[in-house]
Amino acid sequence: MEFEFEFDWEAMFKSIPHLLEGLPYTLMISFGGLAIGFVLGIIFGLLSINKNRLLSWPATAYIEIFRGTPILVQVLFIFYGLPDIIGTSVNPLVAGIAAIALNSGAYISEVVRGGVQSIDRGQTEAGLSLGLSRRQTFWSIVWPQAFRRMIPPLGNQAIVSIKDTSLFSVIGVGELVRQGQVYIANTFTAFEVYFAIAVLYLMITLSLSLLLRVIERRGLVSV
């Protein structure tokens, strides 16, 4: 029995306009969630290194829970489980953004913690010796140096979160993969369509990677 397969380039190119209808949702979920996740990451990252255990323990618990469970389980809980608690349904787009925000926030918290702790304590002592308060020393001296070191891992987390949006087709978000599934159901060209989806994701992540390299070459990132 012979098996022959011929890649249908025409079918792939025809699918692209349909797939692009899901691109705004992919980008909205990714960057909307990452923006919120960055704020959460700063807050919980700084709380996790606070000497007050009443502040550091809850932050550590949040980080471990969302780093230790799959994002697919998290979005399913938000979309299907949370309505039982709050008594109302959750919009799929909102659920996707929330999942990216909470998940990326936990990982960004660790990036923030590591970045801040990587700065030599002598920097803090120097700021205090100049008459600055601890808060002024942190935001004027420690944070700018730490943030430069955070940029590469933050970029990596952004790429991971963009790829994670492909999982949200399970809750009906009309992103790239969901649009592809709908198109495949009508055309039965699964291989070509999924190949096109992979290329689109690759173009997005490569563009972000190139942007990060430009930033590094211009010396904006401390190695």
Cα separation of 116 and 145, whole Å? 8
Q: What pLDDT sits at residue 204?
A: 94
Q: What pLDDT sits at residue 56?
A: 94
With beta carbons less than 8 A apart as the criterion, state whether 101 and 36 touch.
yes
Cα separation of 98 and 76, whole Å? 11
pLDDT digits (tens, 9 = 90+) for 126-179: 888 888 888 999 999 999 999 989 988 999 999 999 999 999 999 999 899 999
More confident residue, 216 or 94: 94
Which residue segments constitute the domains of the chain, with CATH numbers given?
11-217 (1.10.3720.10)
pLDDT digits (tens, 9 = 90+) for 63-111: 999 999 999 999 999 999 999 999 999 999 999 999 999 999 999 999 9
Q: What pLDDT sits at residue 93?
A: 94
Q: What is the DSSP letter of 139?
A: I
Cα separation of 74 and 98, whole Å? 9
Q: What pLDDT sits at residue 220?
A: 56
pLDDT at 6 over 90: no
Longest dimension (CA), the chain: 83
pLDDT at 211 over 80: yes
Q: What pLDDT sits at residue 3?
A: 62
The DSSP string of 59-91 is HHHHHHHHHHS-HHHHHHIIIIIHHHHHSS---
